[in-house]
Structures are given as structure tokens and as C-alpha cells.
Amino acid sequence: DRKGGLSDTIAAIATPPGRGGIGVVRVSGPLCCHVAEHITGRVPPPRYAAFCRFRNREGETIDRGLALYFPGPRSFTGEDVLELQGHGGPVVMDWLLSCVLQLGARLARPGEFSERAFLNNKIDLAQAEAIADLIESASEQAARSALRSLHGEFSAQIQELRDQLIELRCLVEADIDFSDEDIDFIERGAVAERLQGLQSTLRRIHRSAQQGALLREGIRVVLVGRPNVGKSSLHNRLAGFEAAIVTDVPGTTRDLLREHITIDGLPIRLSDTAGLHDSMDIIEQEGMRRTREEVTSADHVLLIADDQVGLTELEQAILSELPDNVTYTLILNKIDLSGASAERREDAQEGVMLRLSVLTGAGMDLLLQRLKECAGFDGEGEGYFSARRRHLEALQRAGAAVAAAGEILREEGPEEMLAEELRQAQNALAEITGEYRSDDLLGEIFSTFCIGK
Ligand code: GDP
Ligand code: ZN
């Protein structure tokens, strides 16, 4: 039971490892006052920064810094919270943390502060997830949509939908309870109308959430093709768009950029097949096997061929083996050599085909456009919520239940079944905010957080 441990006191270094101007040890739980008294000599006044000497058990000064005390429930976790800000060196931070642990606190698990905030009803589950998303945002758009979720905009819309569902359920259930007497609490036509309203709101929220999830997770794109068609060149060129944007960020290496690129805010994970195509001939058995493996984990495949050669049996073979859920684009590269002009063609049989030149850049805009389109990304960047796959799944289940309710209504099925579908929809939505949840789910979500958050 995850709530079981709530009475103990947790502590962690909340700042990233390494050296920094300041470092923060965060403590949450009933021992905060005890910890403050021993380390700083007194409990600092609530919500004021107090400059103090930090002392270890032997009374030796280990650092000087600020102590901040937030008595519960007016704190991030809802419990007493103490923050000790010292000098941000790994040794000093370790000293400080071990003093806190010696005084009876235990080391926090990743995300445990946020988890406590959730368990104490300071934030709901979607908001807790948004905290992690905000920290991990790789683009401005992603950060903005995480902030929106964190401020509760996503949760508020879910809550409103739930309220509407509950109201409708009450009316339908009242109808069931009083079915002997000839009272109609709600007419079937009115139920149908409300169901339709719910369905369209669900669709709208799903759409925003889907864009948010894309901003967070991106799509995985795999490049395949014969040797020498230009896969590495394309890879570098795509990474180059990103490099041009972020070159002045110190410490970012080109290798890092190569795998995670963003196109107008859409994150794309280019799978690293460099090792595959540079050392291996795709035509060989082993090459084909590994290509298959790569392709099955992709969202989108860029199948590249030389425009002077055109499509051969090899490309046809790869296409015929693509899993149904993987979309693809055929790229005929090196039009500077073939003399063709950049173009996009669509054909029911072969799908979308682009002619371009990685070398000259002609037609590259068509490719970027195509990638955004395949991801279902509209790039507007406003009004999205950061969302996760689990939110999308829950929204989909809610939508399916509402649709099923509509079906029962049309076929004049029993009202009990109708009420049951509405209950299902309501529960699905409750999973998003965490009112309806399992301990496993909580563990899964919070374990991906960083320590001290
Ligand atoms: P890979 O084996 O598929 O990764 O192919 P590379 O990216 O290593 O490219 C093979 C060769 O084709 C290199 O010499 C590239 O410079 C060249 N190349 C790639 N794209 C183009 C293009 O659009 N036009 C021309 N003329 N050459 C290209
Ligand atoms: Zn290559």
C-alpha cells in the first residue's frame, strides 16, 4: 500500500548531481522540525528564508546556507517540508543529506515528493505527470503544454466531462428505480442529445491531448534502403536542422542531437541505423533481418532509393513486409543527378513518394511536411495539454463507452446497460486524474520521476 509509508519522513538532494552555485536538500514529513532544530539550531519561521549554520551531530559546521520551512498542509507535499540550501558541491550535499538521514529521515524514492503531493490531494495524477513532463520538456512547445496541464487545465476539462456524465447517469438511474411508476426523469431524445455532446467534447479533448502526447513523445522514424542511396546523408541533414537551432547551447553534443531532433516542435527520434547500414549490406540475410527488426519498432519508415535506379525488388520486398500500423514514405533521392524535379506523388498502391536531393536540399521541405503530417501534428502549438499514452487510452475507452451507450439507446436496449456504460466512461476519466487507480499504476508513474521531485 503506497499510502502506508506516508507517516515517515523522506529526504533527497533535489538539485542535479555535480557542482552548482547552490544545492538543495529537501525533507518532507513529521520529522522536519526535529531535523531543523538539530541542523540549524531552531525551526525557521514558516515560509521565510533563514540564513543559518548547518551543523552535524558532533556540532561541527558543515556549511552555511538558507533554511526554508513550510508547515503542512500549506506545502508542496501537504506535509511539513524543510528545504536546506547549501553550497552545491557533491561532498557538502552528501554531508547535509547524511545528517538529515541520521536524524531519522529515509532516502526518498524517485518522484516520492510528487507522489505525496498527489496522495495528500495537493495535485491530481495528471498534474503530477505534468511536473515530470515539464522537467523533461525538450522543446518550448512541450514545456508550454506541460505547464498548461500542471495548472490543471487538462484536469478541469476532464472533471467537467465527468460531472456531466454523473448527472446523466443519475437521471438514467432514477428512471430505472422508478420504472414501475410512470415518471420519466429524462426522455430518450434528451439522453441521445447529451451523449452526442459528451462525444464531441471527448473528441476535442482527445485531439488536444494527442498533440500534447506527440510533443512529449514524438515519433520514431527509421531510415532504410540499399547501401549508398543517401541514408547517412539524410540523417545528418535532418539532424542539421536541429543543430542550426541549438548550436549555442553549451554542452550539447552532436551525437545527442542526432537521435533526438525536433521539426517545428515535433520531436523525432531517428533510429540509429548508422551501424546497420554502414557495416552491413541490407541485401544480405543478416542485414534484412536487422532491418525488419528496426522497422517493426518504428512509427514511420523512410524507404530511400536512388532516383536513377528507381524501385527494385528489394524495396518492394521491404514494403510488402511492413507491419500494418507502420506508415511509410518512399524517397527517391539524388534528383540532382537524375535531372528530375522535386515532387510529391500519391498513389493508392505505393502511397506517398517524394523525389528530392539530400545533397542540394531540393524537396526537403516536402519531407518535413510529410513527417509532420504522418505524426498527425498540426504544429500550431496552442491549447495543447501535455498528455501521455495512458491518458489517450483512457479518453478512448471513455469514448467507446459513450458510443456503446448511444448504441443501446438507439436499439432501445435496457436502461441498466445504458447506465453501466456511463459508469464505465466515468471510471475511465477518473483514471486520468487518479481518483480511480491502482497502486501498480502509481508505482509505474512515479518511478520514472527524478529523485527529489
Ligand atoms: P548510405 O549508404 O545510404 O548511408 O548513403 P550515404 O549517405 O553514405 O551516401 C552515399 C553517397 O551518396 C555519398 O557520397 C553522398 O554524398 C552521396 N549522396 C547522398 N545524397 C545525395 C544526393 O542527393 N545527390 C548526390 N549527388 N549525391 C548524394
Ligand atoms: Zn550510411
Give the pLDDT confidence of 352-370 residue by residue, as tens digits. Answer: 999 999 999 999 999 999 9
What is the distance in A from the centroid of ligand 1 to the CA of 333?
8
- The domain locations on the chain are 4-123, 132-214+388-434, 219-375
Residue with cell 501498480: 440
**Residue 183 has what pLDDT?**
59
Task: Report yes or no: 71 and 37 within 8 Å, Cβ to Cβ.
Answer: no
**Residue 259 has what pLDDT?**
60
Q: Cα separations (Å) of 285 from 231, 304, 305, 314, 449?
A: 19, 19, 19, 12, 41
**Residue 257 has what pLDDT?**
36
Among protein residues, the one whose CA lies closest to atom 2 of ligand 1: 228
Instruction: Give the tens place of pLDDT for each residue, 93-109.
Output: 999 999 999 999 999 99
The candidate with the shortest Cα–Cα distance to 318, out of 385, 225, 383, is 225
Considering only residues 346 and 442, tell me which one the structure prediction assigns the higher pLDDT.
346
Q: How far apart are alpha carbons 397 and 432 in whole angstroms?
A: 11
Q: State CA 136 to chain mean position distance.
A: 9
Among protein residues, the one whose CA lies closest to atom 19 of ligand 1: 230
ipTM of the complex: 0.98
What is the distance in A from the centroid of ligand 2 to the CA of 306?
13
- Considering the chain, what percentage of its residues have pLDDT values greater than 90? 48
Binding residues for (6S)-5-formyl-5,6,7,8-tetrahydrofolate: 26, 83, 122, 453
Q: Which pLDDT band, with edges at 50, 70 and 90, does 181 fall under?
A: low
Considering only residues 361 and 185, tell me which one the structure prediction assigns the higher pLDDT.
361
What is the distance in A from the centroid of ligand 2 to the CA of 227?
7
Instruction: Give the tens place of pLDDT for each residue, 247-282.
Output: 334 433 333 334 667 777 778 888 755 445 555 566
Q: How far apart are alpha carbons 72 and 37 in whole angstroms?
A: 17
What is the distance in A from the centroid of ligand 2 to the CA of 161?
50
Residue 429 has pLDDT above 80, yes or no: yes
Q: How far apart are alpha carbons 360 and 368 in whole angstroms?
A: 15
Best residue for ligand 1 mutational test, from 224, 228, 229, 233 (most atoms within 8 Å of Cβ): 233
CA dihedral 5, 9, 13, 15 (to 10 degrees): 80
**Residue 243 has what pLDDT?**
43
For domain 4-123, say whether CATH 3.60.10.10 is its number.
no
Query: What is the identity of the amino acid at 137?
Result: S
Considering only residues 87 and 139, tell me which one the structure prediction assigns the higher pLDDT.
87
Is 132-214+388-434 the same fold as 4-123? no
Q: How far apart are alpha carbons 378 and 369 in whole angstroms?
A: 10
**Residue 379 has what pLDDT?**
61
**Residue 356 has what pLDDT?**
97
Ligand nearest to the CA of 338: 1
Other CB atoms closer than 10 Å to residue 447's CB: what's the count? 12
**Residue 248 has what pLDDT?**
37
Q: How far apart are alpha carbons 77 and 108 in whole angstroms?
A: 13
Pocket lining: 308 vs ligand 1, CB cutoff 6 Å = no
Please tell me whether residue 178 adopts helix, strand or coil conformation. coil
What is the distance in A from the centroid of ligand 2 to the CA of 304?
11
Residue 4 has pLDDT above 60, yes or no: no
User: Which grid cell sits at 437?
Assistant: 487507480
Query: What is the identity of the amino acid at 254?
Result: R
Tell me which of 3.30.450.80, 3.40.50.300, 3.40.50.10490, 3.20.20.100 is the CATH number of domain 219-375. 3.40.50.300
For domain 132-214+388-434, say whether CATH 1.20.120.430 is its number.
yes
Best residue for ligand 1 mutational test, from 224, 228, 318 (most atoms within 8 Å of Cβ): 228
Other CB atoms closer than 10 Å to residue 253's CB: what's the count? 7
Residue with cell 498542509: 73
Q: In what order do the strands lie in the sheet with 81-88?
A: 49-55, 61-70, 81-88, 20-28, 10-13, 106-107
